[in-house]
């Protein structure tokens, strides 16, 4: 497995021998897993500090739900949700804070407030100014594959060759980033579990994560509590499982283990404590003689 070291603005992440854990902080009323739980600045910061204590290497702050069929919120509303949280959190933690957004203006405000990474599920396609912002501030960028946008991505997604098509998309995104002075050494890719994929697509991607290694950048995987896990585990009579129940979290940890064993350098999760245990064991298996 390839190893990488990202160094920038007083931060350093060594990726490969030990799996990096990104803790999810949704400051939204409608996210599929924890919408409305951390809307106040105080509750959001307290939750983030708990994730840091549990072993998070990065806190990823998002102010807009990207669940399937969701609508966008305005730049003003998104910034109103995330900026106060980032400002307060930046005073209290030393680990990197990532801004989860597709909007360049929100990303820029977040960086001024104390964020030091950009997690763009649109891979800088949805806002033409995003690449310029990332290049100007010289911060790491996570480029994720998504078919269409959150509103349309789950409308019968079809691929000619799942891995090949997604790898081509990510390769193009990396090349575009380079044109905006974003060095390859500051790029992380995410194949986008749950973003324009069927249940079978997601499990296939987990099995074949290692095929993205040829892109020569770190790989992030985000399986946490997603619908493909819930759909697999639910009984025939059930419409859906609640994302926070123990069965869904156990399923998430199985997906995390598979992703790490197959080549993921970083995982994005809700339950940092459980994930820390999982990756400690899988990392030990990976590095064993």
Active-site residue flag, 268:
yes
Q: How far apart are CA 130 and CA 135, in angstroms?
A: 9
How far CA 223 is from CA of 22, 104, 139, 155, in Å, comes to: 12, 25, 24, 20
Helix (H, G, I), strand (E, B) or coil at 42: helix
Active-site residue flag, 168:
no
**Closest to 248 (Cα-Cα) out of 263, 267, 228, 265:** 228
Other C-beta atoms lying within 10 Å of the C-beta of residue 190: 26
Residue for token digits 């072993």?
55
Phi, psi torsion values for 180, nearest 5 degrees: -105, 25
**Closest to 61 (Cα-Cα) out of 9, 109, 129, 15:** 109
Q: How far apart are CA 34 and CA 190, in angstroms?
A: 22
Number of helices (H) and strands (E) in the chain: give both, helices first.
9, 10
Catalytic residue among 211, 226, 234, 242: 226
| 11 alpha carbon, distance to own chain's centre | 18
The alpha carbon torsion through 226, 231, 237, 243 (nearest 10 deg) reads: -20
Catalytic residue among 230, 268, 276, 286: 268
Under 8 Å CB-to-CB from 257, ≥6 apart: which residues? 278, 281, 282
The answer to whether residues 221 and 206 touch, using CB atoms and an 8 Å cutoff, is yes
Q: What is the rounded radius of gyration, in angstroms, for the C-alpha atoms of the chain?
A: 17
Which active-site residues does the annotation give? Answer: 226, 268
């Amino acid at each position: 497995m390839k190893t990488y070291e990202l160094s920038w603005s007083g931060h350093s992440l060594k990726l490969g021998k030990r799996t990096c854990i990104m803790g999810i902080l949704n400051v939204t009323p409608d996210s599929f897993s924890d919408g409305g739980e951390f809307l106040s600045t105080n509750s959001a910061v307290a939750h983030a500090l708990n994730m840091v204590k549990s072993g998070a290497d990065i806190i990823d702050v998002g102010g807009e739900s990207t669940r399937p069929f969701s609508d966008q919120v305005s730049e003003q509303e998104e910034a109103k949700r995330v900026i106060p949280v980032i400002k307060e959190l930046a005073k209290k933690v030393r680990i990197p804070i990532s801004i989860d957004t597709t909007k360049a203006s929100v990303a820029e405000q977040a960086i001024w407030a104390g964020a030091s990474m950009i997690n763009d599920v649109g891979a800088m396609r949805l806002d033409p100014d995003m690449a310029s912002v990332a290049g100007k501030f010289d911060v790491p960028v996570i480029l994720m594959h998504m078919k269409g946008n959150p509103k349309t991505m789950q409308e019968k997604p079809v691929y000619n060759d799942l891995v090949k098509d997604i790898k081509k998309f990510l390769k193009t995104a990396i090349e575009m980033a380079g044109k905006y002075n974003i060095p390859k050494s500051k790029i992380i890719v995410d194949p986008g579990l749950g973003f324009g994929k069927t249940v079978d697509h997601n499990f296939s991607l987990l099995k074949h994560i290692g095929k993205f290694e040829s892109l020569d950048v770190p790989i992030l995987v985000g399986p946490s509590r997603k619908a493909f896990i819930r759909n697999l585990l639910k009984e025939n009579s059930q419409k859906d499982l609640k994302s926070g129940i123990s069965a869904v979290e156990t399923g998430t940890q199985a997906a995390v283990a598979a992703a790490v064993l197959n080549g993921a350098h970083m995982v994005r999760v809700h339950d940092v404590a459980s994930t820390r245990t999982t990756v400690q064991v899988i990392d030990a298996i990976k590095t064993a003689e």
